[in-house]
Structure 1
């Protein structure tokens, strides 16, 4: 969604809200400043919690170090039970959540923008 330089493409710039500064120098993160999270509609409380979790050293590091390829799938059996299907959905949901959280933390670590 971002081009090589961390800018929004013209098509995506149309979707940004009016509070988004479109000039590059206004979006660029200052050295050693944390990356903020954009409020996309009543998400400020959730954004605050995500930033707090990111800055808990052991938690943030563990999320960034997760190897989701090693996430164990539910064992398949010939006879699928309702419980095993439910467990498989639960594990897949957990994996998706961890993957999205990891992607957010990576962006918060590497972004050259003021906010993700």
Structure 2
């Protein structure tokens, strides 16, 4: 049984059918929707796309957790005192504050002075 087609606004052009920054290529016609401003899809395809998006977000969250554990292991292994540990975490006020420590960890890994043995979560 054929699934019912659903008209969905094109995510690339936002429904305009035109991409001004590509006007030199096919007069800016949006390729995904072929200039119509919408695409025809099925509920099944929408569900699959949402599922893939959720899986990607879950994988990214697991990777962030793994990376944070790795960084904390590194900092705890090489920090001689809590003051040093706090300085390393706070060196970069933007972002998560681990940039300097991350760079140092990469140098130690390359020199064979640090190895994190817990496998990646995927």
Higher relative contact order (CA 8 A, sep 6+): 1
Q: Same fold (TM over 0.5)?
A: no
Choose 1 or 2 for highest CA Rg.
Answer: 2
Specify the TM-score bucket, using the shorter chain as the normaliser: under 0.3
Question: TM-score with structure 1 length normalisation?
Answer: 0.27
TM-score by length of 2: 0.26
